[in-house]
Amino acid sequence: MNWKLLVLKKAVMGRIPFGNSLRRWKRSRFGYAPNAANMDCTLENYGDMKRTAEAAGASFLGGTVLEIGSGWFPVIPVLLCLEGAKQVLMSDLSPHMDDVTFGTAVRELVRRFPDRTDLRGISHRSQLPIKYLAPLDVAKIEDNSLDFIISRTVLEHIPEAELTRLFNALRPKLKPSGHMVHLIDHSDHLEHQDKSITRIHFLTWSAGFHAALNRLIKEGENRLRHHEYRRVFERAGYAVAIEEGAVHEGTRRRCGGLALAPPYDGMSAEQLSILTSIYVLRPRA
Protein backbone atom coordinates (compact mmCIF):
# COMPACT_ATOMS: atom_id res chain seq x y z
CA MET A 1 0.00 0.00 0.00
CA ASN A 2 1.24 3.50 -0.84
CA TRP A 3 2.46 5.27 2.31
CA LYS A 4 0.07 8.20 1.81
CA LEU A 5 -2.93 5.88 1.64
CA LEU A 6 -1.56 4.05 4.65
CA VAL A 7 -1.43 7.30 6.65
CA LEU A 8 -5.04 8.03 5.64
CA LYS A 9 -6.13 4.53 6.67
CA LYS A 10 -4.41 4.84 10.07
CA ALA A 11 -5.96 8.28 10.61
CA VAL A 12 -9.47 6.95 9.89
CA MET A 13 -9.07 3.74 11.92
CA GLY A 14 -7.65 5.67 14.88
CA ARG A 15 -10.79 7.80 15.07
CA ILE A 16 -13.41 5.06 15.00
CA PRO A 17 -15.42 5.29 18.25
CA PHE A 18 -15.03 2.28 20.57
CA GLY A 19 -12.20 0.93 18.37
CA ASN A 20 -10.77 -1.34 21.09
CA SER A 21 -14.21 -2.77 21.85
CA LEU A 22 -14.80 -3.46 18.17
CA ARG A 23 -11.45 -5.25 17.90
CA ARG A 24 -12.23 -7.42 20.92
CA TRP A 25 -15.65 -8.31 19.47
CA LYS A 26 -14.07 -9.20 16.13
CA ARG A 27 -11.51 -11.46 17.81
CA SER A 28 -14.15 -13.17 19.91
CA ARG A 29 -16.09 -14.01 16.73
CA PHE A 30 -13.31 -14.74 14.26
CA GLY A 31 -10.18 -15.35 16.34
CA TYR A 32 -6.79 -13.74 15.89
CA ALA A 33 -4.30 -14.81 13.23
CA PRO A 34 -0.67 -14.06 14.16
CA ASN A 35 1.72 -12.72 11.55
CA ALA A 36 4.49 -15.29 11.06
CA ALA A 37 7.13 -12.71 10.11
CA ASN A 38 6.31 -10.60 13.18
CA MET A 39 6.52 -13.70 15.37
CA ASP A 40 9.96 -14.54 13.93
CA CYS A 41 11.12 -10.99 14.58
CA THR A 42 9.76 -10.96 18.14
CA LEU A 43 11.53 -14.20 19.06
CA GLU A 44 14.79 -12.97 17.52
CA ASN A 45 14.50 -9.64 19.33
CA TYR A 46 13.80 -11.38 22.64
CA GLY A 47 16.91 -13.49 22.20
CA ASP A 48 18.98 -10.37 21.55
CA MET A 49 17.51 -8.55 24.56
CA LYS A 50 18.21 -11.50 26.83
CA ARG A 51 21.77 -11.81 25.47
CA THR A 52 22.60 -8.15 26.06
CA ALA A 53 21.09 -8.21 29.56
CA GLU A 54 23.26 -11.19 30.45
CA ALA A 55 26.30 -9.47 28.93
CA ALA A 56 25.67 -6.61 31.38
CA GLY A 57 25.68 -9.11 34.24
CA ALA A 58 21.91 -9.24 34.68
CA SER A 59 19.36 -12.05 34.49
CA PHE A 60 15.57 -12.04 34.28
CA LEU A 61 15.53 -15.05 36.63
CA GLY A 62 13.71 -14.22 39.86
CA GLY A 63 13.10 -10.60 38.87
CA THR A 64 10.09 -8.32 38.66
CA VAL A 65 9.87 -7.03 35.09
CA LEU A 66 7.86 -4.11 33.71
CA GLU A 67 7.29 -4.24 29.96
CA ILE A 68 6.42 -0.89 28.39
CA GLY A 69 3.96 -1.18 25.50
CA SER A 70 3.16 -4.89 25.55
CA GLY A 71 0.64 -4.70 22.70
CA TRP A 72 -1.75 -7.42 21.56
CA PHE A 73 0.47 -10.47 21.44
CA PRO A 74 2.24 -11.25 24.76
CA VAL A 75 4.95 -13.59 23.52
CA ILE A 76 7.78 -11.97 25.50
CA PRO A 77 5.85 -11.80 28.83
CA VAL A 78 4.95 -15.49 28.55
CA LEU A 79 8.57 -16.45 27.87
CA LEU A 80 9.80 -14.27 30.74
CA CYS A 81 7.45 -16.04 33.16
CA LEU A 82 8.41 -19.51 31.97
CA GLU A 83 12.10 -18.67 32.16
CA GLY A 84 11.94 -17.66 35.80
CA ALA A 85 10.74 -14.08 36.21
CA LYS A 86 9.00 -13.65 39.57
CA GLN A 87 6.41 -11.26 38.13
CA VAL A 88 5.82 -9.60 34.77
CA LEU A 89 3.92 -6.31 34.63
CA MET A 90 2.55 -5.84 31.14
CA SER A 91 1.55 -2.28 30.29
CA ASP A 92 -0.09 -0.16 27.60
CA LEU A 93 -1.81 3.20 27.28
CA SER A 94 -5.10 1.32 26.72
CA PRO A 95 -6.08 -2.36 26.90
CA HIS A 96 -4.99 -4.14 23.73
CA MET A 97 -4.45 -7.72 24.89
CA ASP A 98 -7.43 -9.96 25.64
CA ASP A 99 -8.04 -13.66 26.29
CA VAL A 100 -8.13 -14.40 22.56
CA THR A 101 -4.74 -12.88 21.77
CA PHE A 102 -3.19 -14.37 24.92
CA GLY A 103 -4.41 -17.85 24.01
CA THR A 104 -3.23 -17.45 20.42
CA ALA A 105 0.24 -16.39 21.59
CA VAL A 106 0.56 -19.48 23.79
CA ARG A 107 -0.63 -21.81 21.03
CA GLU A 108 1.83 -20.26 18.59
CA LEU A 109 4.66 -20.81 21.07
CA VAL A 110 3.56 -24.43 21.54
CA ARG A 111 3.56 -24.91 17.77
CA ARG A 112 7.03 -23.48 17.41
CA PHE A 113 8.51 -25.17 20.48
CA PRO A 114 6.76 -28.57 20.74
CA ASP A 115 9.42 -29.92 23.13
CA ARG A 116 8.76 -27.24 25.76
CA THR A 117 6.54 -29.02 28.27
CA ASP A 118 6.21 -25.84 30.38
CA LEU A 119 3.93 -24.36 27.70
CA ARG A 120 1.39 -27.15 27.85
CA GLY A 121 -1.84 -26.58 29.71
CA ILE A 122 -1.59 -22.78 29.79
CA SER A 123 -4.91 -21.28 28.73
CA HIS A 124 -5.19 -18.01 30.69
CA ARG A 125 -2.78 -15.41 31.99
CA SER A 126 -4.00 -16.07 35.56
CA GLN A 127 -1.88 -19.23 35.40
CA LEU A 128 1.26 -17.11 35.10
CA PRO A 129 2.64 -14.33 37.34
CA ILE A 130 1.39 -11.64 34.93
CA LYS A 131 -0.28 -8.39 35.93
CA TYR A 132 -1.80 -6.21 33.21
CA LEU A 133 -1.50 -2.43 33.70
CA ALA A 134 -3.60 -0.74 31.04
CA PRO A 135 -3.68 2.18 31.16
CA LEU A 136 -0.27 2.42 32.79
CA ASP A 137 -0.02 4.77 35.78
CA VAL A 138 3.65 4.87 36.79
CA ALA A 139 2.79 6.66 40.05
CA LYS A 140 0.99 3.53 41.28
CA ILE A 141 4.11 1.35 40.96
CA GLU A 142 5.97 0.98 44.26
CA ASP A 143 9.39 2.63 44.47
CA ASN A 144 12.41 0.30 44.27
CA SER A 145 10.18 -2.59 43.20
CA LEU A 146 11.40 -3.30 39.66
CA ASP A 147 14.41 -5.38 38.69
CA PHE A 148 13.93 -4.77 34.97
CA ILE A 149 12.13 -2.36 32.70
CA ILE A 150 12.04 -3.51 29.07
CA SER A 151 10.52 -2.50 25.76
CA ARG A 152 10.59 -3.79 22.22
CA THR A 153 9.96 -1.41 19.28
CA VAL A 154 8.04 1.02 21.49
CA LEU A 155 10.29 3.96 22.39
CA GLU A 156 10.40 5.22 18.80
CA HIS A 157 6.65 5.96 19.07
CA ILE A 158 7.03 8.27 22.09
CA PRO A 159 7.84 11.96 21.50
CA GLU A 160 11.17 12.99 23.01
CA ALA A 161 9.68 15.26 25.69
CA GLU A 162 7.23 12.54 26.80
CA LEU A 163 10.01 9.96 26.71
CA THR A 164 12.10 12.10 29.06
CA ARG A 165 9.15 12.51 31.45
CA LEU A 166 8.46 8.77 31.40
CA PHE A 167 12.08 7.83 32.12
CA ASN A 168 12.29 10.40 34.92
CA ALA A 169 9.12 8.93 36.46
CA LEU A 170 10.42 5.37 36.15
CA ARG A 171 13.78 6.14 37.74
CA PRO A 172 12.66 5.72 41.41
CA LYS A 173 10.68 2.58 40.55
CA LEU A 174 13.81 0.74 39.47
CA LYS A 175 15.94 -0.89 42.15
CA PRO A 176 19.49 0.49 42.49
CA SER A 177 20.68 -2.87 41.16
CA GLY A 178 18.07 -2.89 38.38
CA HIS A 179 18.44 -2.62 34.61
CA MET A 180 16.55 -1.38 31.60
CA VAL A 181 16.71 -3.20 28.25
CA HIS A 182 15.24 -1.42 25.23
CA LEU A 183 15.17 -2.52 21.60
CA ILE A 184 14.38 0.37 19.25
CA ASP A 185 13.39 0.32 15.58
CA HIS A 186 14.67 3.51 13.91
CA SER A 187 13.26 2.74 10.48
CA ASP A 188 10.33 4.50 8.83
CA HIS A 189 7.48 2.15 9.80
CA LEU A 190 5.47 3.18 6.73
CA GLU A 191 8.16 1.44 4.65
CA HIS A 192 7.15 -1.85 6.25
CA GLN A 193 4.11 -1.83 3.94
CA ASP A 194 5.30 0.46 1.13
CA LYS A 195 8.54 -0.92 -0.29
CA SER A 196 8.74 1.87 -2.88
CA ILE A 197 10.22 4.22 -0.26
CA THR A 198 13.49 3.96 1.64
CA ARG A 199 13.74 2.81 5.23
CA ILE A 200 14.52 6.40 6.29
CA HIS A 201 12.07 8.14 3.98
CA PHE A 202 10.54 10.08 6.88
CA LEU A 203 13.85 11.90 7.39
CA THR A 204 13.12 13.82 4.17
CA TRP A 205 10.06 15.45 5.77
CA SER A 206 10.19 18.90 7.33
CA ALA A 207 9.59 19.14 11.07
CA GLY A 208 6.19 20.72 10.40
CA PHE A 209 5.04 18.01 8.01
CA HIS A 210 6.24 15.28 10.38
CA ALA A 211 4.36 16.88 13.29
CA ALA A 212 1.19 17.13 11.19
CA LEU A 213 1.31 13.43 10.28
CA ASN A 214 1.90 12.46 13.88
CA ARG A 215 -1.26 14.36 14.83
CA LEU A 216 -3.17 12.37 12.22
CA ILE A 217 -2.11 8.92 13.30
CA LYS A 218 -1.67 7.39 16.74
CA GLU A 219 1.42 5.40 15.78
CA GLY A 220 3.71 8.27 14.81
CA GLU A 221 7.46 8.13 15.30
CA ASN A 222 9.83 10.54 16.99
CA ARG A 223 12.61 10.03 14.36
CA LEU A 224 15.36 10.04 17.01
CA ARG A 225 18.47 8.31 15.70
CA HIS A 226 20.48 5.73 17.62
CA HIS A 227 23.11 8.17 18.95
CA GLU A 228 20.45 10.64 20.15
CA TYR A 229 18.89 8.19 22.62
CA ARG A 230 22.02 8.19 24.77
CA ARG A 231 21.39 11.89 25.49
CA VAL A 232 17.79 11.18 26.50
CA PHE A 233 18.77 8.30 28.80
CA GLU A 234 21.65 10.12 30.48
CA ARG A 235 19.59 13.26 31.12
CA ALA A 236 16.98 11.10 32.86
CA GLY A 237 19.57 9.67 35.27
CA TYR A 238 20.72 6.44 33.64
CA ALA A 239 24.15 5.13 32.74
CA VAL A 240 24.54 3.23 29.48
CA ALA A 241 25.94 -0.23 30.25
CA ILE A 242 25.70 -1.61 26.70
CA GLU A 243 24.60 -0.15 23.39
CA GLU A 244 24.41 -1.97 20.09
CA GLY A 245 23.54 -0.54 16.71
CA ALA A 246 24.72 -2.00 13.42
CA VAL A 247 24.77 0.09 10.24
CA HIS A 248 22.31 -1.13 7.58
CA GLU A 249 24.54 -1.09 4.51
CA GLY A 250 21.78 -0.73 1.93
CA THR A 251 20.44 2.35 3.70
CA ARG A 252 23.93 3.82 4.12
CA ARG A 253 24.52 3.59 0.37
CA ARG A 254 21.26 5.42 -0.39
CA CYS A 255 21.76 8.30 2.05
CA GLY A 256 23.68 10.43 -0.46
CA GLY A 257 20.78 10.45 -2.90
CA LEU A 258 18.13 11.62 -0.43
CA ALA A 259 16.99 15.21 0.10
CA LEU A 260 17.25 15.01 3.88
CA ALA A 261 15.58 17.60 6.07
CA PRO A 262 17.36 19.37 8.96
CA PRO A 263 18.86 18.20 11.26
CA TYR A 264 19.39 14.91 9.42
CA ASP A 265 21.18 16.60 6.53
CA GLY A 266 23.99 17.33 8.98
CA MET A 267 24.35 13.76 10.27
CA SER A 268 26.71 11.16 8.89
CA ALA A 269 25.46 8.29 6.72
CA GLU A 270 26.46 5.89 9.48
CA GLN A 271 24.39 7.76 12.09
CA LEU A 272 21.37 7.80 9.77
CA SER A 273 21.53 4.15 8.75
CA ILE A 274 21.53 2.42 12.14
CA LEU A 275 18.03 0.99 12.01
CA THR A 276 17.90 -1.18 15.15
CA SER A 277 19.35 -0.43 18.58
CA ILE A 278 19.61 -2.25 21.87
CA TYR A 279 20.38 -0.23 24.99
CA VAL A 280 21.04 -1.71 28.42
CA LEU A 281 20.81 0.96 31.13
CA ARG A 282 21.50 1.17 34.84
CA PRO A 283 20.24 3.84 37.25
CA ARG A 284 23.07 6.29 37.82
CA ALA A 285 24.10 6.74 41.44
Residues 6+ apart with CB under 8 A from 232: 160, 163, 164, 167, 224
**Could you give the CA distance from residue 31 to residue 242 in angstroms, rounded to a whole number?**
40
> Over the stretch 238-249, which tens digit does the pLDDT of each residue have?
999 999 999 999
pLDDT bracket for residue 67 (50, 70, 90) = very high
pLDDT (0 to 100) of residue 164: 97
pLDDT in tens, 154-213: 999 999 999 999 999 999 999 999 999 999 999 999 999 899 999 999 999 999 999 999
User: CA 76, 81, 86 angle in degrees (round to 5)?
Assistant: 130
How does DSSP assign 79-143, residue by residue? HHHHTT-SEEEEE-SS----HHHHHHHHHHHHHH-TT-GGGTT--SGGGTTEEEESS--GGGSPT
Cis amide bond preceding 77, omega within 30: no
Q: Is the domain covering 3-283 a CATH 3.40.50.150 domain?
A: yes
Q: What is the mean pLDDT of the chain?
A: 93
* CA atoms within a 13 Å half-sphere pointing along the CA-CB vector of 12: 6
- Reported confidence tier of residue 1, pLDDT bands at 50, 70, 90: confident
